[in-house]
């Protein structure tokens, strides 16, 4: 299995049978970044203390998703995708793009991208760029014989905790209800391109205070991950 997505896909992987093997995990990389490297950024970006985060951010700056897929195409029998890391939009830098997420922004990215255009998720400009970018990814996957092996996780952002109480989110974060409305056309586009979607039922879109990273709109209960894992196993 190769993952292009967020902690949602990675956390779900832990609930899969031991026969599943993760050959690569590409996170923090918007489809818009893929093949559109942001020039002059990587060499000036400080090294992050987390090797994983550092590797992901530099991979995003290079836009290296397709390079990784090509290198592993013969080993991959499932490409698991989710769109959670699209949430921050992208920053236009030179002729390329960088995904605007906290790891990049708070570790020198904000200063390096000073004056650059931020293209917010959910806007028409972002959707148009993203749709065109994902169409190119689809074409490459098709040429590699991997398109039928793609499965997209469509997981509504949680508005409540598992006990039914409201899930509080920081002021800077998009409200879950709004995010779910914005994500709808992105998933519709993928479905229109023939990709298989595994849609988490709304009743299971609940967060948990027991999640190892704490409650969040995209940190779910074990029941949600178990449902997703079962769906993947049947796909």
pLDDT by residue (tens digit) across 18-29? 999 999 999 999
What is the rounded distance in angstroms from the CA atom of residue 171 to the CA atom of residue 210? 22
What pLDDT sits at residue 107? 76
What pLDDT sits at residue 50? 84
What pLDDT sits at residue 209? 94
| Structural domain boundaries, residue 204 | 2-234
Q: Phi/psi at 91 (nearest 5 deg)?
A: -115, 130
**Structure letter (DSSP) for residue 84:** G
- Mean pLDDT estimate for the chain: 94
Q: Mapping DSSP to helix (H, G, I), strand (E, B) and coil, where does residue 185 land? A: helix
| Residue pLDDT, tens place only, 59-109 | 998 999 999 999 999 999 999 999 999 999 999 988 899 998 877 777 777
What pLDDT sits at residue 90? 96
Q: Phi/psi at 92 (nearest 5 deg)?
A: -85, 120
pLDDT interval class at 54 (50, 70, 90): confident
Query: Residues 209-221: what's their mean pLDDT?
Result: 96
Q: What CATH number does residue 145 fall under?
A: 3.40.50
Percent composition of the chain: helix, strand, coil (DSSP 3-state, to 5): 45, 15, 40
Q: What are the b/e assignments for 171-181, b being 16+ CB within 10 Å?
A: eeebebeebbe
What is the rounded distance in angstroms from the CA atom of residue 138 to the CA atom of residue 131? 10
What pLDDT sits at residue 33? 96
Positive or negative torsion for Cα 175, 88, 46, 70: positive
Q: What is the pTM of this model?
A: 0.94
Q: Mapping DSSP to helix (H, G, I), strand (E, B) and coil, where does residue 57 land? A: helix
Q: Where are the alpha helices (DSSP H) in the chain?
A: 7-13, 51-62, 65-72, 102-104, 110-112, 124-143, 176-192, 222-234
Q: Confirm if 91 and 98 have CB atoms less than 8 A apart.
A: yes
Beta bridge partner(s), residue 80: 3, 151
What pLDDT sits at residue 106? 72
Tally of domains in the chain: 1
pLDDT interval class at 53 (50, 70, 90): confident
Nearest residue to 86 (alpha-carbon basis) of 185, 195, 225: 185
Q: What number of other Cβ atoms are within 10 A of residue 231's Cβ?
A: 15
pLDDT at 110 over 80: no
User: Which are the contacts of 85, defined by CB distance < 8 A and separation ≥ 6?
Assistant: 5, 6, 27, 28, 29, 30, 99, 101
Q: What are the b/e assignments for 117-151, b being 16+ CB within 10 Å?
A: eebebbeeebbebbbebbeebbebbeebebbebbb
């Amino acid at each position: 299995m190769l993952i292009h997505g967020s902690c949602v896909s990675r956390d779900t992987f832990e609930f899969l049978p031991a026969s599943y093997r993760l050959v690569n995990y590409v996170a923090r990389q918007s489809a818009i970044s893929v093949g559109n490297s942001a020039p002059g950024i990587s060499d000036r970006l400080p090294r992050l203390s987390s090797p994983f985060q550092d590797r992901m951010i530099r991979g995003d700056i290079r836009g290296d998703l397709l390079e990784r897929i090509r290198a592993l195409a013969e080993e991959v029998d499932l490409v698991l995708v989710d769109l959670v890391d699209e949430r921050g939009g992208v920053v236009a830098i030179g002729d390329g793009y960088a995904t605007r997420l906290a790891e990049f922004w708070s570790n020198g990215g904000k200063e390096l991208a000073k004056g650059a255009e931020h293209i917010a998720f959910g806007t028409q400009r972002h959707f148009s760029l993203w749709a065109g970018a994902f169409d190119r990814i689809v074409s490459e996957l098709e040429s590699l014989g991997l398109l039928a092996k793609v499965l997209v996780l469509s997981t509504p952002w949680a508005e409540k905790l598992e006990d039914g109480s409201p899930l509080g989110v920081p002021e800077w974060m998009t409200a879950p209800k709004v995010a779910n409305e914005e994500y709808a056309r992105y998933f519709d586009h993928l479905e229109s391109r023939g990709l298989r979607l595994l849609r988490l039922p709304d009743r299971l879109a609940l967060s948990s205070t027991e999640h190892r990273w704490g409650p969040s709109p995209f940190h779910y209960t074990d029941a949600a991950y178990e449902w997703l894992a079962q769906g993947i196993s049947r796909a």
